Copies of this chain bind each other. A is one copy, B any other.
């Protein structure tokens, strides 16, 4: 994943935020917070995960398909994206 340094930092910051949210969910379960509150936090992580995944897919499309250096590399990058789309649409 040959991201630019800036892009890499941005993705890692998103992952860390989600890790923080997961710690919050563990705490909520541990202190027996209301179910509804735990479910709200889970929904919030789901949104953040979807956003992160869309961003990684977009990076992949840009770098390994649109900006591929050879036709063969572009084909490979494209096939990987097809695989990912199938997984996510199942």
Chain A interfacial positions (CB closer than 8 Å to B) = 1-3, 8, 11-12, 15-16, 18-19, 22-23, 25-26, 28-30, 32-40, 42-43, 45-46, 49-54, 56-66, 74-75, 78, 80-90
The complex places the Cα of A82 from the Cα of B36 at a distance, in Å, of: 11
A-B contact pairs, 21 of them (CB 8 A): A1-B32, A1-B38, A11-B29, A15-B29, A22-B22, A35-B56, A36-B80, A36-B84, A42-B52, A42-B53, A43-B87, A45-B49, A46-B46, A50-B90, A54-B86, A57-B89, A61-B65, A61-B85, A62-B78, A62-B82, A88-B88
How far, in whole Å, are A74 and B61 apart by their CA atoms in the complex?
Answer: 11
Partner of A51, one of B8, B39, B78, B89: B89
Knowing A16-B26, A29-B1, A35-B59 are in contact, say whether A53-B46 is a contact too (CB < 8 A). yes
